[in-house]
Structure 1
Amino acid sequence: MKWVNHEIVTGVIVYGATGDLLSTAFSMAGAIFPDKVEGRPGANYWSWRARHRGWSHWPVIYIAILAIMQLGFLPQGADVEKGVTFIAVGALLHIAEDALCGKVPFLFPWQKVGIKLFTVGSVTEYLFSMAAVIVTYIIHVQFMIK
């Protein structure tokens, strides 16, 4: 997915689930983290492309960070814990979103899984993102009323 769609879909999902703007902001930062650490394609596109959706898209890393934090091995404090948690949640959502338009690592970094519902940057991607926003809103409204 394009970064803008990662930001929107992840932000809406987290805000719909938590109603918390700080958690949403942290998750939106995490939503671009896996791509950001890979660097920009730049002049050497094919070198970058070979690395894209590699170790930075391996969900085990982010799950391990959450587990280590729960065990108390990372800095403590409500804001720090919220930041680490929702950056990891944003990264995990990014990986799940990428798995809808290609393959990403799963249990092992070399084992890639995914489906190709749409091509990155296509009209279908934007329609999917809009649908995700609408569905999240409907679910959020249903749970808020009850």
Structure 2
Amino acid sequence: MTWRAHKTITFSAVYLITHSFPAALIAALSSVFPDFIEFVWWCGRVPRYAHRKGSHWFVPYLAAALLAFYGLKTAPAFPAWVAFGVLWFAVGCLAHIVEDALTGRVPLLSPRRRSFGLRFFRTGSTPETILTAVLGGLAIVTLFREHYRFVAAHLEVFFREAGLF
């Protein structure tokens, strides 16, 4: 998937499930981390044979998510905001891997072999664009519906104070 699709789909999915804007934002921003870390590692020129290997292996991200979740639930000395950030960062990375499995292969049992993938569509294709637009639209509608009263009340106060209403 393209970076734009990763960020939009991840934000939309997390927001539609959790209704948490901070969680969705952290997950969306981290949803490009597996590709970004490859880009940095290979100094901007990722060889085709190296793409979607170790950085796309789900195990480290799942371990980070589970440890953060455990920290949120049981460790009172562990700062909740750190656990929250780590949890949703890892969720964003895991979402990236699942999304990449829709367009190609990703590692499953070994970080060195791309062995799992559904290949529903190609990266940058029309079906990917449609999926991105539909999920993005649903998230926007949900955001608007949930926050309409809040925004409307503030706009009303603003317009009254400005003498426009």
From the superposition, tell whether residues 127 and 71 of structure 1 become closer, same or farther in structure 2 (CA, over 3 Å). closer
**Using the alignment, how far apart are the partners of 1:104 and 1:120 within structure 2?**
14
- Deviation at residue 101 of structure 1 after TM alignment: 0.3
Query: Which structure has more RCO (C-alpha within 8 Å, separation ≥ 6)?
Result: 1
Residue pair 1:16, 1:137 contacting (<8 A) in 2 also: no
RMSD value, Cα: 2.7
| Residue identity opposite 1:37 in structure 2 | I
Query: SS state of the match for residue 6, structure 1?
Result: helix
Give the aligned partner of residue 68 of structure 1: 67
- Deviation at residue 137 of structure 1 after TM alignment: 7.7
From the superposition, tell whether residues 25 and 103 of structure 1 become closer, same or farther in structure 2 (CA, over 3 Å). same
Give the aligned partner of residue 102 of structure 1: 104
Is there any run of 5+ residues in structure 2 with no aligned partner, and where? 147-165
From the superposition, tell whether residues 42 and 63 of structure 1 become closer, same or farther in structure 2 (CA, over 3 Å). closer
- Deviation at residue 42 of structure 1 after TM alignment: 7.6
Q: How does 1:1-146 map to 2 (within 5 A)?
A: 1-39=1-39, 44=45, 47=47, 49-72=48-71, 76-109=78-111, 110=113, 112-133=115-136
| Residue identity opposite 2:82 in structure 1 | V
* Alignment length (residue pairs): 138
Is there any run of 5+ residues in structure 1 with no aligned partner, and where? none
Name the structure where helix makes up a greater proportion of residues. 2
From the superposition, tell whether residues 62 and 44 of structure 1 become closer, same or farther in structure 2 (CA, over 3 Å). closer
From the superposition, tell whether residues 4 and 44 of structure 1 become closer, same or farther in structure 2 (CA, over 3 Å). closer
**Using the alignment, how far apart are the partners of 1:84 and 1:44 within structure 2?**
28
Larger Rg computed on CA atoms: 2
Query: SS state of the match for residue 112, structure 1?
Result: strand
Deviations 1:14-68 (CA, angstroms, capped at 9, x unpaired): 11112112111110122011000001688845x2x21110111101111111233
Query: SS state of the match for residue 39, structure 1?
Result: helix
**Using the alignment, how far apart are the partners of 2:30 and 2:5 within structure 1?**
13
**TM-score under structure 1 normalisation?**
0.80
